[in-house]
Amino acid sequence: MQEFSKIEPLRNFLSTCRQEGKKIALVPTMGYLHDGHLSLIKIARNAANIVITSIFVNPKQFNNQEDLINYPQNLERDLDLLKRHNVDGVFIPEASEIYNPNFESHVFVENLSKNFEGAFRPGHFQGVSTVVAILFNIIQPHFAVFGEKDFQQLRIIEKMVSDLQFNIKILRAPIVREPDGLAMSSRNVRLSTNERNVAVLLNKALFAAKDCYLDGEKNPKVLCDFAKASLNSVKEIRLEYLELVEPNDLSVAKEAHPSTRLIIAAWVGNVRLIDNLEL
């Protein structure tokens, strides 16, 4: 596996790959890799000849400095995992390699970035779309893989690619869950044992609402209230939102149907978790 911290050698490597007719897939990450990331790498591997992973804890997408400082990192372990999963190249830039000192250009996907994560984490999606656009311009992959766990982020990237005419196919990776259903996330490591036991209630609430839908309930408010009821009395959980949304524009659904999605964000202690579930 080749390691790149600078843009130019990475571009040279990729240009040789392209001349040899190879297809390139990018898996952008912020490191502290888990099985969810590895599932993205598997999808990339199946789609392309060359798999590039980026590891960059992007300061511009953290609206909360404490979250940035506490974001877990373990580069040695990540590199070992990537090698063992046959990744061809890893891009690990310093922030100064991505953002020049006078950096002032941003990408913002207006409507999709407004609600939910966008409302609770001001500036977050502008940071995400901007860094992803930069990575796309540096790497110019044929494919890029994003997880459905960050469903709003996924939709924003898909919209950006379509609006800005990036010649890149976005591949979706389903959520990978722990055996008890908790969606895998690098942040899970920050949960105490008690919080970890409580965190499982978030996905349980979504699955319970889905069961309710499968039993015939079509009213989004009834479904969301049903899910919320199981969380409201838990003192460790502070719910930010729980909604049923349309899968494309993420507008609040007027009626439940199979492709509508329950989306949730909640604090469990000091850790903010998100999850979602298609009905």
Q: Which of residues 153-172 bind ligand PAF (CB under 6 A)?
A: 153
Q: Are 175 and 275 in contact, with CB atoms under 8 Å apart?
A: yes
When binding is defined by CB under 6 A, the residue of 79, 87, 131, 202 that contacts ligand PAF is 131
Residue 118 binds ligand PAF (CB under 6 A): no
Estimate to the nearest angstrom the gap between the alpha carbon of 102 and the chain centroid.
28
Applying CB under 6 A, which of residues 26, 28, 98, 242 lies at the interface with ligand PAF? 28
Residue with Cβ nearer ligand PAF (17 or 131): 131
Q: Which range binds ligand PAF by CB under 6 A, 18-26, 124-132, 169-177, 192-200?
A: 124-132
User: CA torsion, points 178, 181, 186, 192, in degrees to nearest 10?
Assistant: -90
Rg over CA atoms, the chain: 19
- 110: tokens are 């207006």
- Asked if residue 260 binds ligand PAF (CB under 6 A), the reply is no
Task: Please say whether the beta carbons of 112 and 249 come within 8 A.
Answer: yes
Tell me the closest approach of the beta carbon of residue 98 to ligand PAF, in angstroms.
Answer: 10
In this chain, which of 10, 39, 43, 61 binds ligand PAF, going by CB under 6 A?
Answer: 61
Among 128, 176, 199, 266, binds ligand PAF (CB under 6 A): 128
CB of 203 to ligand PAF, least distance (A): 19
Residue 85 annotated as catalytic: no
- Count of residues engaged in binding ligand PAF, rule: CB under 6 A: 10
Helix 124-139 and helix 151-163, axial crossing angle in degrees, nearest 10 = 50
Options 34, 37, 124, 257, the catalytic residue? 37
Whole-angstrom distance, CA of residue 216 vs CA of residue 214: 5
- Given a contact cutoff of 8 angstroms between Cβ atoms, the answer to whether 127 and 61 are in contact is yes
Helix (H, G, I), strand (E, B) or coil at 210: helix
Contact flag: residue 30 with ligand PAF (CB under 6 A)? yes
Residue 126: helix, strand or coil by DSSP?
helix
Residues that bind ligand PAF in the complex, under the rule CB under 6 A = 28-30, 58, 61, 128, 131-132, 150, 153
Residues noted as catalytic: 37
